[in-house]
Structure formats: structure tokens, C-alpha cells
Amino acid sequence: MLGNRIAEILEHQGRTMTWLAKRTGYSRWHVNRVVNGAEPPSPRFRAECARALDIPEHLLFFEKDCPSNQDGQAGERRTSDGTQAPARRTVRRGAAG
């Protein structure tokens, strides 16, 4: 379940649902409902969580023992020689207006 995975990543990073709510712009109530499985996450919510947690969105769907995440913490990228790669940053573009 995606909510369990978000909770797992938050715990691993030493963060809280309150922190995630502030970083994503969602209410703590909404974050809590999604994490506890009472409400399904929207595509926007998933994207904002991944951005806030500094991980690729697809890692929200993998269990911690998934092969694509065995060599490091959630969101950590490695180069071909095994060293840590620099974090990716997403450029957010505002709406024309």
C-alpha cells in the first residue's frame, strides 16, 4: 500500500506527516488519511510527496527490499562506479498568467 511506503520513507528519513504536509502544501489531515489508507492518493499528491521526499516517484511503489532500492536509502542514486550520484532537482514551471 502506498500509504505504508510513505510512512516507511518518512520514518527512514526521520520526518513526520506534519513535515510532509508543510512540504507538499496538503493539510496534515489529508496526508494522514492517505498514509493510513482512508483515501486514495491522487497523481498530484504522489508527485508532490516524491518531490518533498527527494525520491523518484516510482520508488513510492516499491517495498524497501525491492532490487532497485537495495544499495542505498530511498531516493539515493548511484553511478556506475558505485559512488553516490548528485540528487536530481525538478524544475517547477508556473502557469502562464
Question: What size, in residues, is the chain?
Answer: 97
Q: Does residue 65 or residue 31 have the better pLDDT?
A: 31
What value does the mean pLDDT take over residues 58-78? Answer: 55
Structural domain contains residue 54: yes
Supply 79's cell numbers: 553511478
Contacts of 72 (CB under 8 A, 6+ apart): 78, 84
Q: For residue 49, is pLDDT > 90?
A: yes
Question: How far is it, in rounded angstroms, from Cα 4 to Cα 36?
Answer: 7
Domain contains 89: no
Grid look-up 498530484 returns 44
Domain count across the chain: 1
What CATH number has the domain bearing residue 15?
Answer: 1.10.260.40
- Residue 47's SS3 state is helix
**Residue 86 is assigned to a structural domain of this protein:** no
Q: How confident is the model at residue 22 (pLDDT cuts 50, 70, 90)?
A: very high
Task: Give the domain extent around 39.
Answer: 2-59
In a domain, 70, yes or no: no
Among candidates 52, 51, 16, which has minimal Cα distance to 35? 16
The 10s digit of each residue's pLDDT in 73-89 is: 444 554 445 555 555 54
Residue 94, in any domain of the structure = no
pLDDT at residue 66 in the model: 43
